[in-house]
A = this chain, B = another copy of it.
Amino acid sequence: MPSLRVALAQVNSTVGDIPGNAAAVRHWSRAAADAGAHLVAFPEMMLTGYPIEDLVFRNSFVAASRAALRTLAADLAADGLGDLAVVVGYVDADGPAPTSSDAVPGSGRRDASALLFGGGIAATYFKHHLPNYGVFDEDRYFEPGDSLTVVRLGGVDVALTVCEDLWQAGGPFAAARRAGVGLVVNINASPYELNKDDIRLSLVKRRAAEAGATIAYVNTVGGQDELVFDGDSMIVTAAGELLTRAGQFTAELLVHDLDLPAADATANPAGPVGAAGESPRVEQRRDEEMAIERFVVGAAPRPLTDGPAVGGIAERVTDEAEIWSALTLGLHDYVEKNGFRSVVLGLSGGIDSAVVAAIAVDALGPQRVVAVSMPSGYSSTHSRDDAADLAKRTGLDYRSEPIQPMVDAFLANMSLSGLAVENLQARVRGVILMALSNQEGHLVLTTGNKSELAVGYSTLYGDSVGGFNPLKDVPKTMVWRLAKWRNQDAARRGGEPPIPENSIVKPPSAELRPGQVDSDSLPDYEVLDAILAGYIDGDQGREDLIAAGHDVALVDRVLRMVDLAEYKRRQSAPGTKISIKAFGRDRRLPITNRFREGV
């Protein structure tokens, strides 16, 4: 039984930074070779980043991806890594490499995986199952591949697949069984959702059984706008045994030795591929399902160097720990990949801004976080005290900008009352934060949670201003859970809990009029979040929610608030998706919409 040492490069790439991503492939390929690996697999679209969205329609972008792949293959050989099989995702197109003035056929773009070997592109595979639900629009972008690519490497037949191929029955994994492969390499850009890791493991097991082969699953890690990728790479045998598993939200190289069935010599003429650029030897079989294209690289199995490589199995963590890591990485990468040095946020003393401040400090360090207390005449003493307390606990840059002089200037020149005066205060705060951003270069963080966004409990261009919102997809009840977890975690580690206890326990209030509390306008958050989870995440209707035991009048009120707040959400800042249905591309609703259930 031949052995392969497989390395899974669970690494971070950046959309559009093709040279930087190629450099990362070279760096981690060197690390894999140093660990004695025969094969290293990088995530889906490693070279381009993921998702590239409409960049795929620009021929110059596709041409850059294709050219970078060729250069990368040559560079790896020049680095002395020509005998390492490197599997890497990129974007391809049918036909000759498009130049910027060639038209790429509208239907010919491919979400592709290449196996680089010996200085050349030894084989390529085009993703077969294209996701077109949730945040995914891949039918818009790609043509599905219709053949499975099998590469004989070190005496083992290895099939190449991409991401969604794993999530649907049939297709490549069924073809892999017919092809009799020993290993399926599945490269991914699979965005984080709470508890998705549990689904993934059972899915990989199911497909491994379907293919009758070991699956090496590698996922990217890092933030890209509203998505964060959690890694969770793993290797599972055909029998369903989990051999090794990476952590979530960590960049790492997972290296593991696999004893794999020898390829059937009769299925394919043996022999190495020639020099880079020479055509690989191909045997092609077609049947009623996917065709199978066979390639051969390398000679006999290179012996394993040094002792057996055994990757560990990373422990699973609590929901709160998982979400905290997702939000921290999502914010960190938005800041870093967009070139900001620092962030600024309004710190009210309330729970939302306290949690955002703590996330920002964890993501960036306290010296890159500016927090501004912006008290008004309605701000309580405890608000200012709690904000100052958090500043002291975390060491962030804390300032105070009282808003009353500016508010008074508006009130002296306009006739405003009621809600207009409440919103005015929030908007003056927004102007202050944006002025600090313009003056000093900070990214403004906004701090509205998912419950508020759902019901529109925020001031447009007021507390909603900002370039990024870490809590956008976090329901209010989870904000509290996160705060408690973060403090307890600090205590466990012997550190300072960052969030003042008073911010956690006091009744939430916008403090825009005397004595105001959220419960004046909203139901209890436990009740509200349960209705929102049904209506938003679950697409349940009024009758479903009532059948689930919710109060009829409350359901009607909440659904109406959610429907009417769509226009605010349309102008809201991006923020990290953690749920199965986040606001944004995950949930596309018209603003103009007169549908009212049960009316």
When chains A and B are docked, how far (Å) is the Cα of A52 from the Cα of B594?
A: 11
When chains A and B are docked, how far (Å) is the Cα of A436 from the Cα of B465?
A: 19
**18 additional contacts (CB under 8 A) given A17-B595, A406-B410:** A15-B590, A16-B590, A53-B590, A54-B587, A55-B595, A60-B542, A60-B544, A60-B597, A100-B541, A132-B139, A139-B139, A224-B592, A401-B414, A405-B413, A410-B431, A414-B439, A431-B461, A585-B588
Chain B CB within 8 A of A195 CB: no
Q: In the complex, which of the residues A338, A465, A594 has the most CB atoms of chain B within 10 Å of its own CB atom?
A: A594
When chains A and B are docked, how far (Å) is the Cα of A438 from the Cα of B459?
A: 10
Residues of B within 8 A of A423 (CB): 434-435, 438
Measured CB to CB, the closest approach of chain B to A459, in angstroms, equals 8
Chain B CB within 8 A of A304 CB: no
Which residue of chain B is the closest to A422 with respect to CB atoms? B438
User: Contact partner of A461 among B416, B434, B595, CB < 8 A?
Assistant: B434
A591 and B338 form a contact (CB under 8 A): yes
B413 and A590 form a contact (CB under 8 A): no
0/1 per residue, A208-233, Cβ < 8 Å to B? 00000000000000011100000000
User: Contact partner of A58 among B224, B417, B465, B539, CB < 8 A?
Assistant: B539
0/1 per residue, A566-599, Cβ < 8 Å to B? 0100111110000000000101111111111100
Chain B CB within 8 A of A199 CB: no
Chain B CB within 8 A of A101 CB: yes
Chain B CB within 8 A of A424 CB: yes
Residues of B within 8 A of A337 (CB): 592, 594
Chain B CB within 8 A of A553 CB: no
When chains A and B are docked, how far (Å) is the Cα of A548 from the Cα of B313?
A: 56
A410 and B424 form a contact (CB under 8 A): no
Given A140-B132, A434-B461, A570-B574, A588-B54 contact (CB < 8 Å): yes
When chains A and B are docked, how far (Å) is the Cα of A134 from the Cα of B413?
A: 46
Residues of B within 8 A of A378 (CB): none
When chains A and B are docked, how far (Å) is the Cα of A16 from the Cα of B567?
A: 16
Chain B CB within 8 A of A57 CB: yes
Q: In the complex, which of the residues A467, A585, A590 has the most CB atoms of chain B within 10 Å of its own CB atom?
A: A590
Chain B CB within 8 A of A505 CB: no
A539 and B435 form a contact (CB under 8 A): no
User: Contact partner of A590 among B55, B64, B540, B544, CB < 8 A?
Assistant: B55
- Which residues, 321 to 378 on A, are CB-close (under 8 Å) to B? 333-334, 337-338
When chains A and B are docked, how far (Å) is the Cα of A590 from the Cα of B573?
A: 13
Residues of B within 8 A of A410 (CB): 406, 431-432, 435
Task: Give residues in A with beta carbon < 8 Å to B.
Answer: 14-18, 20, 51-55, 57-61, 64, 99-101, 106, 132-133, 137, 139-140, 223-225, 333-334, 337-338, 401-402, 405-406, 408-410, 412-417, 419-420, 423-424, 427-428, 430-432, 434-436, 438-439, 460-461, 465, 467, 539-544, 547, 567, 570-574, 585, 587-597
Given A408-B409, A460-B434, A591-B574, A60-B541 contact (CB < 8 Å): yes
Which residue of chain B is the closest to A598 with respect to CB atoms? B60
When chains A and B are docked, how far (Å) is the Cα of A423 from the Cα of B596?
A: 40
User: Contact partner of A14 among B58, B435, B594, CB < 8 A?
Assistant: B594
A-B pairs with lowest CB-CB distance, top 3: A60-B541, A16-B595, A100-B543
Which residue of chain B is the closest to A106 with respect to CB atoms? B133
Residues of B within 8 A of A140 (CB): 132-133, 137, 139
When chains A and B are docked, how far (Å) is the Cα of A430 from the Cα of B431?
A: 10
Given A15-B592, A408-B409, A590-B52, A461-B430 contact (CB < 8 Å): yes
Residues of B within 8 A of A139 (CB): 132, 139-140
When chains A and B are docked, how far (Å) is the Cα of A402 from the Cα of B585?
A: 40
B416 and A14 form a contact (CB under 8 A): no
A61 and B541 form a contact (CB under 8 A): yes
A427 and B434 form a contact (CB under 8 A): yes
Measured CB to CB, the closest approach of chain B to A90, in angstroms, equals 13
A592 and B338 form a contact (CB under 8 A): yes
Residues of B within 8 A of A99 (CB): 543
Q: In the complex, which of the residues A59, A132, A427, A585 has the most CB atoms of chain B within 10 Å of its own CB atom?
A: A427
Residues of B within 8 A of A132 (CB): 132, 137, 139-140
> What are 21 inter-chain pairs, A to B, with CB distance below 8 A?
A15-B592, A55-B595, A58-B539, A101-B547, A139-B139, A225-B591, A406-B406, A406-B409, A408-B409, A409-B409, A410-B435, A414-B435, A416-B439, A420-B435, A423-B435, A424-B438, A427-B434, A427-B435, A461-B465, A571-B572, A585-B588
B420 and A412 form a contact (CB under 8 A): no
When chains A and B are docked, how far (Å) is the Cα of A99 from the Cα of B547?
A: 13
A544 and B595 form a contact (CB under 8 A): no
When chains A and B are docked, how far (Å) is the Cα of A571 from the Cα of B539?
A: 25
Residues of B within 8 A of A17 (CB): 594-595
Residues of B within 8 A of A334 (CB): 592
When chains A and B are docked, how far (Å) is the Cα of A54 from the Cα of B223?
A: 26
Residues of B within 8 A of A58 (CB): 539-541
When chains A and B are docked, how far (Å) is the Cα of A17 from the Cα of B594?
A: 5
Residues of B within 8 A of A402 (CB): 413
Measured CB to CB, the closest approach of chain B to A513, in angstroms, equals 14
Residues of B within 8 A of A461 (CB): 430-431, 434, 461, 465
Q: In the complex, which of the residues A100, A413, A432, A572 has the most CB atoms of chain B within 10 Å of its own CB atom?
A: A100
B100 and A544 form a contact (CB under 8 A): yes
Measured CB to CB, the closest approach of chain B to A454, in angstroms, equals 14
